[in-house]
Amino acid sequence: MTAYLILKNHPLHLGQNGPDITITKNDVKIYKKDLKNQQSVLKIAANEKLSEKQLLEGLLLPSGNDCATVLAKWDDGTVKAFVNKMNKMAKLLNMNHTHYADPAGVRLYTVSTANDQLKLAQKVMQIREFRYLLSKPQATLPVAGTVYNVDYDLGKDGIVGIKTGSMPQSGGDFVFASNQYLKWKHILILGALLGEYGERPLMDALKSTIKIINQVKNNIHLSQLFKKDQKIGYVKFEWLKPIPLITGSSFYTITWPGINYNIKFEKNPIMLPIKKGSIIGYIDVYNKFFTKKIPVRIAGMVKKPTLIERLKSILRI
């Protein structure tokens, strides 16, 4: 959440570093305290200047909790104000089972669920600079030197991030993103694995993620629901034979066991004459994940009825 808010409030474009932030003596004091408490930290020094991008690298790659604190104070003046901002954003994202107690998410009163973290993952992965930072295996910083991405799954099975975490009280966690292809279509698999316990919680979470991704890959398919020029029905006028209705485009979508779709037809107002190939309505395909409109065309021409044809229609009624 911290990285999301920073990039949302202080956007970076590729190649930009953002403003420099000076490390204070108090920042170093917090760093030493976190280090003593065996937290994951980035080595910093008083009067060191780190750009916004470098602090984000320190936060996202080696999981520097002290970087989260520095960024929070830079953004909103105090840690408390920034944490309030985090919780307000959580509500806006409908993360209804999430509460943040600190910028790094390590305090006992910080709670969340896998489903809530997926909601956040969907938002952060829309930010190009965020995706770029996640994909870096390492970065070089002024005092800390070369730091490495603790996402040891990076590059395996298409994994491009997102964030690892490990605490004695919560176990090993991994919110992940994996680039995959179904035939020609690129897809991004997002997932959240929380609470992996054992002798090596984080490594176990990373290993379990590979298994989850392979399970998902084996159960999703690229399916064609409609083919272009597929006959789906007829339109009937009293003075003409039934004229076929055909789809105006093909429609492919990702399917998996148990997925359902709702389909309905929306008719456009009909004004005579109608040219062959005119769009007379749309098929709406929708569920809780997406909505897609497919144009429906008429396969023949419809002229205005002659006076005799109109009379015949009336007499037939």
Kindly tell me if the per-residue pLDDT of 316 is higher than 80. no
pLDDT of residue 288: 87
| 141 within a domain of the structure (yes/no) | no
Structure tokens at 28: 């170093």
Can you give the pLDDT at residue 9? 96
Pick the closest to residue 255 from 211, 216, 311, 303 (CA basis).
Answer: 216
Q: Which residues pair with 50 in a beta bridge?
A: 21
Mean pLDDT (the chain, rounded): 94
Across 284-299, average pLDDT: 94
Give the pLDDT mean for 91-98. 98
Answer for the pair 46, 25: CB distance below 8 angstroms, yes or no.
Answer: yes
What is the C-alpha separation between 142 and 48, in angstroms, rounded? Answer: 8
| Residue-level pLDDT at 314 | 62
Least confident range from 77-81, 90-94, 252-256, 305-309: namely 305-309
258 domain residue, yes or no: yes
Mean pLDDT across 216-228: 95
Interatomic CA distance for residues 306 and 257, integer angstroms: 53
With beta carbons less than 8 A apart as the criterion, state whether 201 and 166 touch: yes
Helices 79-92/65-76 angle, 10° precision? 90
In a domain, 32, yes or no: yes
CB–CB of 13/129 below 8 Å? Answer: yes
Domain extent, residue 60, equals 1-113
Cα 208 to the center of its chain, rounded Å: 21
- Does residue 182 lie within any of the structural domains? no
Strand bridging mode 262-267 / 251-255? unpaired
pTM for the whole thing?
Answer: 0.84
The mean per-residue pLDDT over the stretch 263-267 comes to 94
Q: Which CATH number characterizes residue 81's domain?
A: 3.40.710.10
Q: What spatial distance separates the first Cα and last Cα of the chain, rounded to whole Å?
A: 67
Task: Say what the pLDDT of residue 167 is.
Answer: 85
Question: Residues 73, 76, 77, CA angle at the centre, nearest 5°?
Answer: 55
Are 75 and 10 in contact by the 8 Å Cβ rule? The answer is: yes
Q: Which of 88, 113, 138 is the last residue of a domain?
A: 113
- Boundary residue ending a domain (53, 84, 113): 113
Q: Which residues contact 184 (CB under 8 A, 6 or more apart)?
A: none
Q: List the CATH number of the domain containing 293.
A: 2.60.410
Residue finishing a domain among 113, 133, 148? 113
Average pLDDT value for residue range 56-70: 96
Average pLDDT over every residue of 156-175: 91
Q: Is 145 left (phi over 0), alpha (psi -120 to 50) or beta?
A: left
Of 153-162, 175-184, 301-310, minimum mean pLDDT range: 301-310
Give the DSSP H or E segment for 105. none
198 domain-assigned: no
Residue at 207 is within a domain: no
Name residue, tokens 């990076």. 154
Residues, the chain, total?
317
Q: Is position 9 within any domain?
A: yes
Q: Mean of the pLDDT values across residues 93-99?
A: 97
Distance, in Å, from the CA atom of 264 to the CA atom of 286, rounded to the nearest integer, reads 9
**What pLDDT, on the 0 to 100 scale, is given for residue 214?**
96
Is 153 contained in some domain? no
pLDDT at 199 over 90: no
For residues 18-40, average pLDDT: 95
| pLDDT of the residue at 289 | 85
pLDDT given at position 224: 95
Mean pLDDT, residues 252-270 taken together: 93
pLDDT band at 274 (very low <50, low <70, confident <90, very high): very high
pLDDT value at 177 more than 80: yes
The secondary structure of residue 94, as a DSSP letter, is T
Number of structural domains the chain divides into: 2
Kindly give, in sequence order, each residue whose CB lies less than 8 Å from that of residue 177, ignoring residues fewer than 6 positions away: 121, 125, 134, 159, 160, 161, 162, 188, 189, 190
